[in-house]
Structure formats: structure tokens, C-alpha cells
Amino acid sequence: MLTKTNRTREGLEKVKKRMVMICLAAFMVFTAACSNSNGGNTKPTDSTNNPSETTNSDTKPVEKVTFSYFNGVAAAKDTNTNETTIGKILEDQTGVNFKIEHLVGDLNTKVGTMIASNAYPDVMIPDAAIDKILDAGAFIALDDLIEKYGPNIKRVYGPYFNQMKAADGKIYFLPFSNTVGEYIPDPNINQGAFWVQRRVLKEAGYPKIKTLDEYMELIKNFVEKHKDEDLTGYVALTHDWRFFATANPPMHLAGYPNDGNVIVDMNTFDAKTYAADENTKRWLQKLNQINADGLFDKASFVDNYDQYLAKLTSHKVVGFFDYGWQFANAQNALKDAAKVDPTQDDFVYYPLPITFDGQKDQYLDPPGFVKNRGMGITVSAKDPERIVQYLDNLLTDENQILQKWGIKGETYEVNDQGRMYRTEEQIAKIDEPFNEKFGFKYYSWNWPLYNNGSSLPDGNSVAPGMQAEVFQMSLTNEDKTILEKYGVKTYSEMFAAPDDRPWYPAWGIPKEQGSSQQIWETKKDEVTKKYFPKLVLAKPADFETVWTEYTNAFGKLDTAAYEKWTTEEVKKLIEAVK
């Protein structure tokens, strides 16, 4: 049914033109589906890896269109996708361009304005505000569109469809964490860690730092020895929804992965909140102590995300906790500078698996499926059918290679054994400016895709950074030196292997709009954001008094009900995989 064209006021000629466009687009989707009828078992060849070369010159070009796309999570300059190499190739295939707007300012304020005006971009990633978008009915259901126009979406997401359904049984957005093929672990640290400037470890003789006390003492000693540099010992990220970067460390320090608001016992599988337990008290008391010692950046509680990133690239911040993906822009800028001038490697940050008492860490994510974040098509979308066709076209093996690896001969090569790799020259040229111009910055995430841990049918990694040949080739001499000092070949070898957790991550368990669980999380965030600054910045002698005030306020929440519900959901997921 051509719902978008069956309007008499458009006139017969427009209807005919529209029908031609739909037929051509449908033919493209059919072709893509046929190329993957063998399970997507394609080889990386010249033609498959530059999809623009496969266009039939005798075929009438598809009518071009631009859709609006709001990204509420990534930090980047706004752009049109067809201004990038990848986006232009995809536009040549589909006729579709996206004008991407990135978040500036407060996410909830931005989303609230959209909801109040009932005016949305065509597609959006509302990230932490996704519940508000769903509650407002801003996303359309995708089920029928996927059935009609999404053979690749069905192939890639099919195993996860039941987890993606809302309470009404419909699918409203496409997540980004689905694993396709065999799981390949990440040699880098893109998840949580305590980070420190490499020069700190070098000056200290590359000590094995395992505990929180050792980590903070390392920072304190370095700052005291370099008083003339006006250094900041430790900063924390607290802006908006990113407050979790300050609230999450207690569970990691206790030896658990990022399950959000809870720690799940590995024997009983009971989920317990930790926001007001002894782990969090111990963490905040340590921050309180380093604040008293003049090592903590008090502006951490007022700085926005951009100010935080700017401080990390200033060479003045010695250490912090964060997730690798979240401060990647700053880390990449530091690495780019070090490639040009190796002495700048001193300011690149190194990840450490810190725990309270040196117990086994669990920073590395086990394979999981995050089902409460993703991209949706809004009620304001001009042509949902065309958007779904574009998204489906992304999910061919060929275009996943294009998104992640690029173009053969330009950004990667293939050896005689069929292994994809990058030359030293290719690695050297792929810096942040190149990533922006080529499109890696805009297409490596935040679209329907094969998750980074995925593999292609021929065994190659979907993500170049997880391909052993690429990782080793990408290491600078300084990288190799510090890894050798710690007796490892990859950064992830510094960390303990993840234990199997079938429910992981617990924070990704969907919650109904307006549910008691959702209300608890909102109120919990309000309480922690109010009291954490007070606890960290208080005089040490007043810490216990403020802690009591905080736990009294926290005690008014129905935490027992939240824990009971989460435990039940965790155990359901465990049963589902038996």
C-alpha cells in the first residue's frame, strides 16, 4: 500500500513518479537480500567493498531525499551524511541523505521541547531520554515496515526480536548491540576503567596498581612532584545523564561489571542496589579525602561534557574514571598528537583495572544485548518506508564492511588468506579529521549495525580494531613499550576475563513507561545528584553527618520493590538461555 502517495491532491503525475521510485528502491532491497541468501557469506572483493561501483549505469537514478536525524549521545559537529565518503556511497545506492544534528546542552531539555511541540526529526537516538520519547508516542511501530522492507533487518535482529518488543508487543526502535557471527573480544578498553596519564606510570617505574588506595596515592605523589605544572589530580564526569560515570565506580571497585543500578550476586542471582551501601560510602569517602588534599576538581559538579573533554586534552588532568567510548574524542585527539610528536605520548591515558582491595575485576563486558537504547523513526517522518529501506541496505555484509573498514585499497587490504588488514600508511592517515571526512566517525556506531564483537562469515572481524592484525599494526613504539612493561600484548589483557552473565546488562532490561521501577530510578537519580556533591565537597569531619542525611533521603524510596522486580527479571533471562 503506497500510503504516502495515495493522495489525490498530489496529482496523477506525482503518483506515477512515486511508484517508479518505490519500485526501484524495492528492487535494490531485493537485490541486497538475494546477495545474502546464503547467510551473507560474501568475500571482501573489490566490487563488494566499494558498493558504489556495483550501480548499474543504465538504471534511472533514484530520486534523492534528505531526512533529519537527531543524535542525543554522540559528540560531533553536525553534518550531512553525503558530505562524507561513506555517506555519499550510500546515497548513490539509495538516493538518501541524512542531515545529522548532535546534542548541544541538556538532553532532557532538548527532548522535552520536541515533545511539547510534537515536532521531531525523521529519525532520532534519544539515548537516556528514550523512555520520554516512547511515553510520548513519538516513535512509530516498525513491525510492518520490517516485514515489508527489511529482509536484512530480520536476518540481523531476528534472534533478538522478542527482547526488542515493547509491552504492547511491537518494536519501536533498533538497538546497536546485536552480535552477528562468532563473538570476538576487544583488545582495547572501550568500557570502564580508571585512567591515568602514561607519564605517571613511566616516572613511577611502571608499578602494578591494583587497589583504589594505590591509584590515588600514585596520583598524589605525581602531583606533589610537579607542583609547578598546576595539575588537577582527579576529575569526575557528572553532566546530565552522564552522571553514571561518577555513580557507577562502586560496583566496579567491588569487582562487578556495569549492571547499572544493581549488583547481581553470582550464586543467588539476587539483584541489590548499591547507591547507598558500603561500597558507595567507601568510594565517596575516598573522593572526599582527595578533595581535602586538593586533588579533586571541584568544578566536576558544574562542568558540562564538552568542558570535561577539554580538560582531558589539556595535559593537566592526571587521572579519572570513565568508559572508553565516552571520552574517546579526547583520547583520540591525544593519540593523534602523539603520532606526530612521540613525546606527547606521555599525556595519553592508560587503563587500570582498579578494585577496592585488589580482588578480581570485571570491567570487561561479557557478550550481551542492550535492548533499551537505539534508533527509532518518529511520527514526524516524511517517508518511513524509504528510511527503513536505507537502514536495511546498511545491514548487508558489504555495507557493514564499508561502514567499519572502508574501501579496499584506500583504508584496508586483503591478504592471500582472505584476512583483512591495514598498512602502516593507512593507519597513519586515519586520524580524527580523516574519520570525519571519510565518515567513520558518523557510521561506526549509532546506526543499525553488526556490533563490534561480531564477525563476518569468512572469520574476519567486523570491527578493524578487534582484528588482531590491525590492532598490532596500529600500536606505536610507545604503545608497545608500555604494554611490554606490563607483560601484555593488548590492553584488555590487563583485565580479568568476563564471567558469563546471561542477563547482562541488567540496566538494559526494559521498563514500562510510568512503572514503579522507572519512577524509582528517576527519584534515585534526583537524590544522588543532590547529595553526592555535598558528600565529596564536605569537610572530612562532616562526612558522616551528610552520609546519614543522604541515606535517610534514600531510605524513603521503595528500593526493596525495585530489587525484587530486577531479581525476577534477571532470573527470567537466565531461564531463557537454559
Same domain, 401 and 314: no
225 within domain boundaries: yes
* Domain end point (choices 431, 461, 491): 461
Same domain, 280 and 423: no
- The residues with which 235 forms a beta bridge, in sequence order, are 320
Long-range contacts of 133-139 (CB under 8 A, 24+ apart): 133/376, 134/166, 134/172, 134/513, 135/513, 135/514, 137/379, 138/114, 138/376, 138/378, 138/379, 139/172, 139/173, 139/376, 139/377, 139/378, 139/379
Same domain, 211 and 104: no
Same domain, 356 and 375: no
Same domain, 33 and 168: yes
Summarize pLDDT for 540-550 with one digit per residue, the tens: 999 999 999 99
pLDDT of residue 5: 37
CB of 313 within 8 A of CB of 344?
A: no
Give me the tens of pLDDT residue by residue for the chain, a chain 578 residues long. 333 333 333 343 333 344 334 334 444 433 333 333 333 333 333 333 444 343 344 455 678 999 999 999 867 889 999 999 999 999 999 999 999 999 988 899 999 999 999 999 999 999 989 989 999 999 999 999 999 999 999 999 998 898 899 989 999 999 988 889 988 888 999 999 999 999 999 999 999 999 999 999 999 999 999 999 999 999 999 999 999 999 999 999 999 999 999 999 999 999 999 999 999 999 999 999 999 999 999 999 999 999 999 999 999 999 999 999 999 999 999 999 999 999 999 999 999 999 999 999 999 988 878 888 899 999 999 999 999 999 999 999 999 999 999 999 999 999 999 999 999 999 989 998 999 999 999 998 899 999 888 999 999 999 998 998 889 888 999 999 999 999 999 999 999 999 989 899 999 888 877 899 999 999 999 999 999 999 999 999 999 999 999 999 999 999 999 999 999 999 998 887 66
Same domain, 73 and 93: yes
1 within domain boundaries: no
Same domain, 243 and 310: yes
Same domain, 344 and 437: no
pLDDT of residue 494: 96
467 within domain boundaries: no
Measured CA to CA, the distance from residue 567 to residue 387 in angstroms comes to 38
Same domain, 206 and 317: yes
Which of 487, 475, 513 is CA-nearest to residue 138? Answer: 513
Q: Which three cell numbers stand for residue 554?
A: 534514600
Structural domain that includes position 378: 8-180+370-461
Same domain, 408 and 484: no
pLDDT of residue 61: 62
* Domain end point (choices 461, 491, 512): 461
* Domain end point (choices 461, 494, 518): 461
456 within domain boundaries: yes
pTM greater than the 0.75 cutoff: no
Q: Tell me whether the omega of the peptide bond preceding residue 505 falls within 30 degrees of 0, making it cis.
A: yes
CATH no. for residue 223? 3.40.190.10
Q: Could you give the number of structural domains in the chain? A: 2
Same domain, 338 and 206: yes
Give phi and psi for 77, each to the nearest 5. Answer: -80, 150
pLDDT of residue 444: 85
Same domain, 351 and 391: no
- Radius of gyration of the chain measured on its C-alpha atoms: 25
